[in-house]
Every structure is written in structure tokens, then in C-alpha cells.
Amino acid sequence: MTKTVIVTGGAGYVGAHCAKVFANAGWNVVTIDNLSRGWRDAVRWGPLVECDIRDSSAVRGALATYKPDLVAHFAAFAYVGESVTEPAIYYENNVAGTLALLGSMRETGCFRILFSSTCASYGIPEVVPIDESHPQVPINPYGWSKMIVERMLENYSRAYGLSSVCLRYFNAAGCDPDGEIGEHHEPETHAIPLVIEAARNPERPFTVFGTDFPTPDGSAIRDYIHVVDLAKAHLLAGEMLMRRDGAFVYNLGTGVGTSVFELLDTVARVSGTAPALRYGPRREGDPPKLVASFAKAAGELGWQPTNSDIDFIVKTALSWRDHHFATQSATFP
């Protein structure tokens, strides 16, 4: 029998890529999104229910109509800087929104959920690579909002029998190799699209924040994971939840770090143009190195990041940008 997944936030970057992977694996896909930060044209693999996850009546109606086997929950605000200046909307949307969603799920008898979490819940790492046992001490409201939901899911598992998988992403990057969907944030804060834009448009230089980190070249190191690899992990986790009950947590990264200067060199090589640059001081709370251990996901889910070579990530992101954002009037997609 064909399984059904409801994807909250499925009009956004990671959610849309996950919707495609689920659909290609034979699942029926339904998207719930209020389109406040997503894109209608990114919803291509099933119907869109346009509503906020805090609208319990509408969400219950969608759950009752489509009777999903699983909810994949991506609906959240995800700008670290904005979370510092506007923490209220992060706790209202990310935490209270999830609380409302879980209430709707319980009322309609849906007890399996995948949660889009983040390495930001770890805060400043004590050891690298970071595994799932690392203490979670967030340093911004965004990280706290995700960690609070993780605790909620643990509690709901014990009290109500809700089964969940929390997937802690490192740096999501790249775009659909088929070119159907891609990365489009307003404003854009992710490093790779910003570096690519700086290579294509010298009037929009990329800012290197800090060149005095305790790393081999002095720039910060991050673990970039292709969005398609993230999507495949969600599919594997969803299939696992069809067989197992409980609350599970997995890191999603590559175990390989790329420094800012290495990323700049990669973009220059792949694009044929060196990005325009400017330099700024370190940002407060910016860790020198964030790299994941994904051994648990490999062992329990059978997952491997097979698309996350940094050259391939940049090539897919560059292809998307050049095809869809050649002019200022370009729209998504």
C-alpha cells in the first residue's frame, strides 16, 4: 500500500527537496505551508494545503483528509541573527507552532514525525567531530527553539507513544541536480549562494568574518552537506519509523570540514571567476570548527553522504543560480 507523508514547510529549501525524494520513492506527498518564507512553485509533488501550522482547525482537516503515515516537519524560522533580535517570533513559530502541530496530530491519530533540527543546538563545540552525545548548549534563540522541540518530542514519546526522529543538520548546501528546485532565501544568509553571487556580481562582495581562527588557514571551518543527501536521510528515517517505535536522534553531516578560504577557492575554480571579497571581524559566538560525526546515521539508517563533495555542491548551486537568477526580475524557480 502506498504510504503518505505530510511535509510542513514543504515550499521551503530543504522541505521541497525532501518532498521530491519521498515522491520519487513512491510516497504520496502533501505539503502544508503558509508561504510566508516558501515558494508556491516549489510545491511540485502533490497538493498544497496553504495554512499556518498554528491553525489547528486547518491542520486537523488536512490530517483527517489525507491520513498520513508520517509527518515531516520543516516549518520553522531559521535565521540566527533574526532570532537574536526577534526571539519572540522564533519561540512563537518554532516552539508554539510545533506544539500546535503535535496537538493536531494526537487528535487525528498520527503518531510518527520527522523533525528538522540543527547543529546549532550544540552551541560552541567542546570536541570535534561532534556526535549525538555532545552537550547541547545553544547560544542563540534559534538553537534553543530547536532544542526545546527535541525535548518535547522525547516527552511526547514517553507520555503519548509518539515516535520521532530528530535530524540535526550541519550546513545544508547545494541544489537539486535536475534543476527543478533550488535555494532561494530572502534575505540570503547561506555562505555558498553568497560566495557564488560575489563571483558573478563584483558589486556584491562576500564578507569573510574573521581570518584569525585557530585553524590551518585562519578562517572558520564548516561541514557542508548536500541538500539531496539530507533529503535521502529523511526518507531512510521515515522508512525506519514505519518499523520502529521510539525517539531517535541523528547528526547529518559529512565528517569533512571546508574552510572559508577553501570554499572561496572552490567557487573560483568552478565558476571561473574569483569572488569579490571584503573582510570583517569574527562574529560573536562563531565557532572555529563545526564538523559532524555521522557514524550513528550510517550504522542505524544505512545513510551515507554520497553527493556532498564540495565541488559537486558548488556546481549544483552555481547551475541553479545561473539558470534562475540571471536577472534581478527572476522568480522562483
Question: Which residues form the catalytic set?
Answer: 142
* CB within 8 Å of 160: residues ≥ 6 apart: 106, 111
β-bridge mates for residue 290, sequence order: 222
Measured in whole angstroms, how far is the alpha carbon of residue 173 from the centre of its chain? 9
Give the whole-angstrom CA distance, residue 198 versus residue 221.
Answer: 19
Helix (H) or strand (E) holding 269: helix 260-271
Give the whole-angstrom CA distance, residue 43 versus residue 11.
Answer: 6
Preceding amide of 333 cis, omega within 30: yes
Contact present, 147 and 120 (Cβ < 8 Å): no
Contact present, 98 and 36 (Cβ < 8 Å): no
End-to-end alpha carbon distance in the chain? 33
Instruction: Quote the strand ranges of 90-195, DSSP E.
Output: 112-118, 163-169, 171-173
**3-class state of residue 312 by DSSP:** helix
